Structure 1
Amino acid sequence: MTTPLLKVENLRIALAGDGVTYDAVENVSFEIGRGEAFGLVGESGCGKSITALSVMGLLRRPLSLAGGKIMLDGQEIQNVSAAEMRRLRGKRIAMIFQEPMTALNPLSPVGRQIAEMFVLHQGANWNEAMDRAEEALRQVRVPSPERRIKDYPHQLSGGMRQRVMIAIALACGPDLLVADEPTTALDVTVQAEIIDLMAELCAAKGTAILMISHDLGLVANMCKRVAVMYAGRIVESQVADSIFARPSHPYTQGLIDSLPRLGERARRGRQKLREISGVVPSIANYPSGCRFNPRCPAVTDVCRSTVPEATPLPAEGLVRCHHHG
């Protein structure tokens, strides 16, 4: 069997606070193949972003990696030195953060921030690196790149800043791109442009994508496989076509049922959109058993007392639910 590019196995992330340690992420496992787009979805606060940060080696206190393995090309990277992780970041794995205005250095022109990638990872001199930075801006369709390389982040629009982030992330042709809500702060038209651009550039470079989002439509269009997280656990994982057509977990069903659909309002007599009752539980008050049980319409006593095991689904999928399907 082909070794997956990225394999996360039984990942556990701890959160320390008030003399108590909580499991922010528990027993999370997934794999991403070379050139594959993999989606990780769920409501805010379910653990998506800190899972991404753990892959990048960017967890900081009070968060810490408490267990599990993170393997890149079969090599464990969760315990490598800080110096080795810096060599991997940018060259083999790269990340697009949620808000480029806070991710970019406000005191440095964007051209220099792109050029740093070529200097640090490919040994280019600064003159050569700046020329390549201009070309990188041209590739992400920034107009007048020869002028824009001298601009600071605050001089660019949100869409242009996100294009700069993509240029930085893909500068050295990484094997894996981690995209954490890459279109959150953008309007719908710019969102579509950014996603199309990212998909096009990753396909050209053969770069795999870990797409983290709560936008199910975006994930459905872009990703081959999808995992759904809830309260720090993966509750379902399937091929994208299957998970959106035939969701097995009640939480996944609720997420999909809450999406507006063209013509739906007329067919249903102008009823309100469906919603999932309740809220995501606090990390300090996770319920026993299945963590979705206080909000689940199909809850029974076993859901409140016993953690559901992973049940295999077709096409290497899985679901954690006592009453799945």
Structure 2
Amino acid sequence: MTTAPLIEVEDLRIDLDGRSSRVAAVEDVSFRIERGETFGLVGESGCGKSITALALIGLLRRPLSVASGAIRFEGREIQSLSAAEQRDLRGDRIAMIFQEPMTALNPVSPVGRQIAEMFVLHKGKSWREANQLAVEALASVRVPAPERRVNDYPHQLSGGMRQRVMIAIALACGPDLLIADEPTTALDVTVQAEIIELMRNLCAERGTAILMISHDLGLVANVCRRVAVMYAGRIVEQRGSDEIFRACAHPYTQGLVDSLPRLGTRAAHGRSRLREIAGVVPAIADFPSGCRFNPRCAQATEICRTTAPETTWLDAGGLVRCHHHA
């Protein structure tokens, strides 16, 4: 008898209701995350990563809605749970670090109270006990002078400190799954490295699985065991992080890898230019027919423009959606 994965997404479709029509913002998305695993979801801005994450914790709001597919947590269908059951699950068993802590945190409430709320709501602690646990939570994410910082408001903290507060809130109840949506956005590289290392260490200590969402393939490949690459609402490749760098199967993934800066590479005259993927991710209402990457793909042929590629399982493990992956 096999053990069910911690969370499993199967053929997920998320629709966007427009004034005169309904379009699929995310389509045919499937992946699974095992207990304690770190899984990456990569793609350019606007490809559907964040709304997929919001669907996992039941935070989609109109005009977005889950149209079909399944999201199962420990074998239970999340969509079938009542609003109260989803609230109990959210924050306790599944937690999320949102993309921009300045807008995710309540500007008129001290950060300590925002952390303490988690212990009151999900663990039944008194406010006195919860406030002490909030101090300990700030200390665990290496916030200096946590006894004083619990009384600070978000605007009194630096970007890095606000992100640490978000991590403290997310990990307060010891969740089984942590969703990190661009957790290092707008932070300088030294703070980025500290935040990522902090997340990895805390989650390793607690056995927490991580869904890391980013547009930075290099960051995700260094942190995650497996990576799914998303383009225009569909997963186009899903493989182990080592295979992603060693042998990309999809032209879009290859474009992401080629755009990464590398030490020791120089072009003529001592200067080199990073490769770029021409064009932009299409708007939801303007997804092209066939393979959605075909207008930007140098390898595109007639079949790419007329027929959407099926999912192909690779001999080395993983999957790809491309007519010419061989």
> With structure 2 as the length reference, what TM-score do the two structures score?
0.98
Give 1:155's aligned amino acid.
Q
Q: What's the CA shift for 1:271?
A: 3.7
Q: What's the CA shift for 1:244?
A: 1.4
Q: For residue 309 of structure 2, what is the aligned residue in structure 1?
A: 308
Give 1:202's aligned amino acid.
C
Counterpart-to-counterpart distance in 2, 1:312 and 1:2: 22
Q: For residue 40 of structure 1, what is the aligned residue in structure 2?
A: 41
Q: For residue 219 of structure 2, what is the aligned residue in structure 1?
A: 218
Q: What's the CA shift for 1:267?
A: 7.2
Counterpart-to-counterpart distance in 1, 2:152 and 2:272: 49
Matches within 5 A, 1:14-29: 14-29=15-30
Counterpart-to-counterpart distance in 2, 1:172 and 1:43: 31
**Cα RMSD after superposing both structures:** 1.1
Q: Equivalent pairs: percent with the same residue?
A: 74
Q: What's the CA shift for 1:170?
A: 0.3
Q: For residue 189 of structure 2, what is the aligned residue in structure 1?
A: 188
Counterpart-to-counterpart distance in 1, 2:90 and 2:3: 23
Q: For residue 141 of structure 1, what is the aligned residue in structure 2?
A: 142
Give 1:51's aligned amino acid.
T
Q: For residue 254 of structure 2, what is the aligned residue in structure 1?
A: 253
Preserved contact between residue 265 and residue 272 of structure 2 (Cα < 8 Å): no
Per-residue displacement from partner, 1:125-184 (whole Å, max 9, x unpaired)? Answer: 010110010000000000000000011111111100100000000000000000000000
Per-residue displacement from partner, 1:24-67 (whole Å, max 9, x unpaired)? Answer: 00010000000000000000000000000000100011111101
Counterpart-to-counterpart distance in 1, 2:241 and 2:53: 20
Counterpart-to-counterpart distance in 2, 1:103 and 1:265: 42
Counterpart-to-counterpart distance in 2, 1:35 and 1:145: 28
Q: What's the CA shift for 1:233?
A: 0.2
Give 2:91's aligned amino acid.
G
Counterpart-to-counterpart distance in 2, 1:268 and 1:292: 34
Q: What's the CA shift for 1:5?
A: 0.3
Give 1:252's aligned amino acid.
T
Counterpart-to-counterpart distance in 2, 1:91 and 1:316: 33
Counterpart-to-counterpart distance in 1, 2:35 and 2:315: 21
Matched, 1:104 2:115: no
Give 2:182's aligned amino acid.
E
Counterpart-to-counterpart distance in 2, 1:73 and 1:264: 46
Q: For residue 93 of structure 1, what is the aligned residue in structure 2?
A: 94
Per-residue displacement from partner, 1:233-274 (whole Å, max 9, x unpaired)? Answer: 000000000011111000000110111111112479634211
Q: What's the CA shift for 1:17?
A: 1.1
Flag structure 2 segments of 5+ consecutive residues without an equivalent: none
Q: 1:317 to 1:64 in 2, by over 3 A?
A: same
Give 1:167's aligned amino acid.
A
Counterpart-to-counterpart distance in 2, 1:157 and 1:243: 35
Q: 1:204 to 1:314 in 2, by over 3 A?
A: farther
Matches within 5 A, 1:50-65: 50-65=51-66
Preserved contact between residue 49 and residue 230 of structure 2 (Cα < 8 Å): yes
Counterpart-to-counterpart distance in 2, 1:161 and 1:73: 31
Flag structure 1 segments of 5+ consecutive residues without an equivalent: none
Matches within 5 A, 1:197-208: 197-208=198-209
Q: For residue 170 of structure 1, what is the aligned residue in structure 2?
A: 171
Counterpart-to-counterpart distance in 2, 1:11 and 1:67: 6
Q: For residue 114 of structure 2, what is the aligned residue in structure 1?
A: 113
| Partner secondary structure for residue 204 of structure 1 | helix
More displaced, 140-149 or 15-24? 15-24
More displaced, 42-51 or 77-86? 77-86
Q: For residue 11 of structure 2, what is the aligned residue in structure 1?
A: 10
More displaced, 310-319 or 16-25? 310-319
Counterpart-to-counterpart distance in 2, 1:104 and 1:268: 49
Give 1:201's aligned amino acid.
L
Q: For residue 271 of structure 2, what is the aligned residue in structure 1?
A: 270
Per-residue displacement from partner, 1:161-217 (whole Å, max 9, x unpaired)? Answer: 100000000000000000000000211100000000000000001000000001112
Q: 1:111 to 1:286 in 2, by over 3 A?
A: same
Per-residue displacement from partner, 1:70-100 (whole Å, max 9, x unpaired)? Answer: 0000111023111111000111000000100
Q: What's the CA shift for 1:279?
A: 1.3
